């Protein structure tokens, strides 16, 4: 641990400033803030605003311009003539230019439902975005602890290399004094090279994870240190509000609105209308065969009291959709509960017990190495056996550090999943 702290202190000046020290909480915050998915909320707001303006315009008159030119093979005419009268001849080529105006009077009160539908569509899109973004928390948490484990493993290996370098100095001094063979020093050099191989591989893997994590959190560089979280003793496995619950609620609200709108289909539709224009011949008086003005206005209504059971079947289908949403919610809660049980045993039993055993293993192996060092100096143990014990101590420390971070990782996965 002394060597580990020394190495971290040596790396600190290269971090530049305090902002280059990242915690898992900060990484999650940055990933959520930098996610392009957040733009979907802004788009949903803009879409809803435009659609609501369209709903408000439904109360304005509808104006439509029309034009028609046609030729027909036959036209209306009398098969006889009146004495002293000349019946006008209707032209076969006919023309019409008109403007139609319609003003809604009653449509069953659909506008409030349309406004509510647009608002629910906006909320539904926002809830879905929150669900998609929330999943980034677990991804970033896994990347963070993968990179942190490699960072800490590299520090442990560097400390082991320092111990071996000190041992090499002692071996070379013994060779120079003629009390040890050159083979002894060479064996130590081989072990140093093997340790440096591990450091190189660990550093490369860690740098790769840093690059990936930088993409998620929007950092332009990888010159930062990861800080292992420090936790108070508390129970994390408390229920929290997941964004999936808001999504399920929004889906149910949408289905409920569709059910409420079914009654509008049985309401009559009433509107006022007017049409004016010029026609050749006059469409309302075929005796006027020139280009004549015309106009019509009035009220019209439409009502469909019989739908042959369509609304009832639609109501049943929407009821099934509501049950589908409930089933999805129950399935989600089941998965979350099963995952919570697994997290509980990993946190409170598995890793804690492993750490207790790691502490005992490291203490025993350190004692073995101390005795082996004295035995090598007295010629009782070979350098090969001593280096084997050094390697076992390094592996024990790596296992201890791995289990420490696995415990922290398990806890942070709970935090990421529970939304804390």
pLDDT at 195: 92
Q: What would the DSSP string read from start to end of 149-189? A: HHHHHHHHHHHHHHHHHHHHHHHHHHHHTTSS-HHHHHHHH
Q: What pLDDT does 2 receive?
A: 36
- CA atoms of 226 and 20, how far apart (whole Å): 9
Please tell me the number of Cα atoms within 13 Å of 255 on its side-chain side: 18
Helix/strand/coil for 91: coil
The separation between the first and the last C-alpha atoms of the chain, rounded to the nearest angstrom, is 31
- In sequence order, which residues have a C-beta less than 8 Å from that of residue 283 and are 6 or more positions away? 96, 294
Cα 208 to Cα 215: distance, rounded to the nearest angstrom: 11
Tell me the domains of the chain and their CATH numbers.
Answer: 2-69+91-418 (1.20.1600.10)
Cα R_g (the chain), whole angstroms: 41
The enclosing H or E element of 270 equals: strand 269-280
Position 1 scores a pLDDT of 35
Q: Which has the closest alpha carbon to 291: 303, 302, 304, 278?
A: 278
Taking CA atoms, 353 is separated from 347, 360, 403, in Å, by 10, 11, 10
Pair 419, 242: CB distance under 8 Å: yes
Q: How many CB atoms lie within 10 A of CB 360?
A: 11
Cut 0.85: pTM above it? no
- The Cα 262–Cα 257 span in angstroms is 9
As a three-state string, the secondary structure of 363-375 is HHHHHHHHHHHHH
Do 124 and 250 form a contact (C-beta atoms < 8 A)? yes
Task: Give the pairing type, strands 21-22 and 225-226.
Answer: parallel
Helix, coil or strand: residue 220: coil
- pLDDT computed for residue 240 by the predictor: 56
* 420/417 Cα distance (integer angstroms): 8
Cα angle 222, 144, 229; round to 5: 110
Cβ contact 3:163 at 8 Å: yes
What is the predicted pLDDT for the residue at 157? 92
User: Alpha carbon 303 to chain centroid distance?
Assistant: 46
Kindly tell me the sign of the dihedral angle through the C-alpha atoms of 31, 37, 43, 48: negative
Which stretches within 239-289 are classed as H helix?
243-261
Which residues face 282 on adjacent strands?
Answer: 285
Mean pLDDT per segment of 10 residues, for the chain of length 420 residues?
Answer: 36 39 86 87 89 86 92 77 71 91 85 89 91 88 90 91 89 82 86 92 92 87 75 50 89 91 83 92 84 92 84 90 93 86 79 88 91 82 85 91 86 73
CB 134 within 8 A of CB 242: yes
């Amino acid at each position: 641990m002394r060597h580990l702290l020394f190495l971290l202190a040596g790396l600190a000046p290269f971090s530049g400033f305090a902002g280059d020290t990242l915690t898992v909480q900060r990484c999650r915050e940055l990933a959520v803030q930098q996610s392009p998915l957040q733009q979907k909320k802004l788009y949903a707001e803009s879409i809803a605003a435009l659609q609501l303006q369209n709903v408000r315009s439904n109360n304005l008159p509808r104006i439509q311009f029309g034009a028609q030119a046609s030729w027909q093979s036959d036209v209306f005419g009398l098969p006889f003539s009146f004495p002293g009268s000349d019946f006008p001849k209707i032209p076969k080529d006919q023309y019409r230019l008109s403007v139609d105006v319609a003003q809604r009077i009653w449509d069953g009160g659909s506008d409030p439902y349309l406004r509510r539908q647009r608002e629910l569509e906006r909320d539904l899109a926002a809830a879905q975005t929150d669900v998609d973004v929330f999943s980034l928390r677990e991804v970033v948490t896994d990347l963070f602890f993968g990179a942190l484990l490699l960072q800490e493993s590299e520090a442990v290996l560097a400390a082991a290399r320092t111990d071996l370098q000190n041992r090499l100095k002692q071996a070379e001094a013994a060779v120079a004094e003629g009390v040890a063979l050159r083979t002894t020093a060479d064996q130590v050099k081989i072990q140093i090279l093997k340790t440096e191989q591990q450091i190189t591989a660990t550093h490369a893997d860690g740098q790769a994870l840093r690059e990936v994590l930088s993409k998620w959190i929007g950092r332009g560089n990888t010159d930062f240190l990861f800080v292992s979280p420090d936790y108070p003793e508390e129970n994390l496995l408390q229920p929290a509000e997941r964004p999936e619950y808001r999504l399920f609620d929004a889906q149910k609200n949408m289905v409920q609105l569709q059910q409420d709108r079914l009654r509008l289909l049985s309401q009559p539709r009433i509107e006022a209308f007017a049409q004016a224009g010029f026609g050749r011949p006059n469409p309302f008086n075929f005796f006027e065969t020139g280009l004549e003005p015309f106009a019509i206005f009035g009220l019209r209504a439409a009502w469909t009291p019989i739908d042959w059971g369509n609304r009832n079947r639609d109501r049943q289908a929407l009821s099934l959709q509501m049950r589908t949403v409930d089933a999805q919610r129950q399935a989600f809660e089941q998965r979350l509960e099963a995952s919570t049980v697994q997290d509980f045993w990993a946190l409170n039993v598995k890793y804690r017990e492993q750490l207790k055993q790691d502490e005992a293993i490291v203490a025993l192996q350190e004692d073995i190495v101390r005795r082996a060092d004295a035995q090598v100096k007295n010629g009782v143990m070979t350098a090969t056996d001593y280096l084997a014990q050094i390697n076992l101590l390094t592996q024990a420390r790596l296992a201890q550090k791995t289990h420490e971070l696995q415990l922290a990782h398990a806890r942070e996965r709970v935090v990421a999943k529970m939304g804390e």
